[in-house]
Amino acid sequence: MGTENRQIQMVVFDWAGTTVDYGSSAPSVVFDRVLTAAGLHLTREEINRPMGLEKKAHIRQLLSSESGSAQWQQLYGRLWNERDVDKLYETFEATLHTVVAEYSTPLPGVVETVDKLRGMGLKIGSTTGYNSAMMAEVLPVAKAAGYAADCVVTPDATGIGRPAPFMVFECMRQLNVYPPRCVVKVGDTVVDMQEGKNAGAFAIGILTGSNLLGLTKEECDTMPAELLTQRKQVAADRYRAAGADLVIDSIRDLPAAIETLNERLRKEGSL
């Protein structure tokens, strides 16, 4: 690695639960509506577990879960199939379009943090489980509130979503950043971490506002401190088990985390 590459050059953010939409509420709410209409009743934890995947893949995971599979068999007297997935996805997509813009305001600290990162010379990429049509609803709202990435890559642009690395690679291609070791993927789900590591990049998990923590803002604000600490520890352990290099409490901690990774790269370069 050359001297010029011994520092982070690009941060690739997730969207819902990371930069907008506290707790990734919009897709959770819509999945619950769609499943309930189909006669299935899954808990919020069950619905959130595959979060970060491309949404059709998310539906497959829900139907493949022990509860989802058993309920489907009991309701319909057969196993689910791809036609069922397609039908549920069409309903999900149409429903999400009606609500996603309402959940697209940047989370506290995002605008200031991104400004700091750009001041450090970093490029800002983004990947998401939303498709391009959904992001067309999200982007203008986020931009009007002060947050816009340098590139936005969706699963329909690459043909495959997380945990595959290709959306990160596309960010690298568009913004002319390499090698992967100079890239950091920042997200709020297990598959965000896997996406980053599969790309050969660093991966950082955020706790506050994350899907993995699984709390609304009200729940987070009112939960006893000791219990909240325990919940955060469980989430942090899940991030690390998925390959996270660092876990931070808030997006505001990201500039310091980048400096930690830069120091790691400098030490690697001196070996």
Residues with catalytic function: 14, 55
* Residue closest to 167 by CA, chosen among 217, 201, 133: 201
Q: Render 125-166 in DSSP notation, one character per residue.
A: EEE-SS-HHHHHHHHHHHHHTT---SEEE-HHHHS--TTSSH
Q: Give the contacts of 245 (CB within 8 A, at least 6 positions apart).
A: 202, 203, 204, 261
Structure tokens at 1: 């690695």
Alpha-helix residue ranges (DSSP H) falling in 3-105: 25-37, 44-48, 55-64, 66-76, 82-99
How many residues does the structure list for the chain? 271
Cα–Cα distance for residue pair 112/122, rounded to 1 Å: 14
Sheet of strand 202-206, all strands in order from the earlier edge strand to the far edge: 151-153, 123-127, 10-13, 183-187, 202-206, 246-248
Contact 58, 31 (CB under 8 A): yes
Half-sphere exposure of 230 (CA within 13 A, CB side): 5
